C-alpha cells in the first residue's frame, strides 16, 4: 500500500529542497540569442552567395543554350558544403529562437 504523507511533511520537504539554478546564466541569454541568430543569418548569406550555389539568370541560360547548341544544361546536385551549412544554420536558428524567447520571459 502507498503511504500518504501529510501536507505539513510535504511542505517541509519542499522548503528544504534546493532551488533550481540554470546551468547558463539568464542574463547571458540575449547575447547567446544574438550570436546564434546573427551567425545563422551569415550562414544563410554564405549559402545563397557561395559560388557553387549560384544559379544563373534565365536569360543567361537561354544565351548559353543558343551559343553552345546544347539540348540541356547540366544539373547541379547538392554538395556536402551546402548540406553542412544548411544544417548548422538550422541548429543556430532553433537554439537562437529558444534563447531569445527565454530571454524575454517566454519559457519554451
CB 71 within 8 A of CB 61: no
Q: Does residue 5 belong to any structural domain of this protein?
A: no
Helices (H), the chain: 7-16, 29-49, 58-68, 80-103
User: Percent of the chain having pLDDT more than 70?
Assistant: 71
Domain that holds residue 87: 26-103
Cell of 47: 549559402
Tell me: the pLDDT tens digits for 30-61?
999 999 999 988 887 876 776 555 555 566 66
Q: What is the number of structural domains in the chain?
A: 1
From the CA atom positions of the chain, what is the Rg in Å?
A: 27
In the predicted structure, residue 9 carries a pLDDT above the cut 80:
yes
Q: Does residue 62 belong to any structural domain of this protein?
A: yes
Q: What is the pLDDT of residue 21?
A: 85
Q: Does residue 44 belong to any structural domain of this protein?
A: yes
Q: Does residue 20 belong to any structural domain of this protein?
A: no
Amino acid at each position: 500500500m502507498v503511504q500518504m504523507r501529510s501536507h505539513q511533511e510535504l511542505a517541509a520537504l519542499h522548503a528544504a529542497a534546493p532551488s533550481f539554478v540554470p546551468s547558463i546564466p539568464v542574463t547571458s541569454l540575449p547575447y547567446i540569442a544574438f550570436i546564434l541568430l546573427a551567425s545563422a543569418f551569415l550562414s544563410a548569406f554564405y549559402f545563397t552567395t557561395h559560388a557553387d550555389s549560384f544559379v544563373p539568370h534565365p536569360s543567361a541560360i537561354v544565351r548559353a543554350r543558343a551559343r553552345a547548341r546544347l539540348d540541356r544544361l547540366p544539373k547541379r546536385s547538392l554538395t556536402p558544403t551546402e548540406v553542412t551549412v544548411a544544417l548548422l544554420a538550422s541548429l543556430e536558428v532553433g537554439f537562437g529562437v529558444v534563447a531569445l524567447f527565454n530571454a524575454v520571459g517566454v519559457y519554451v
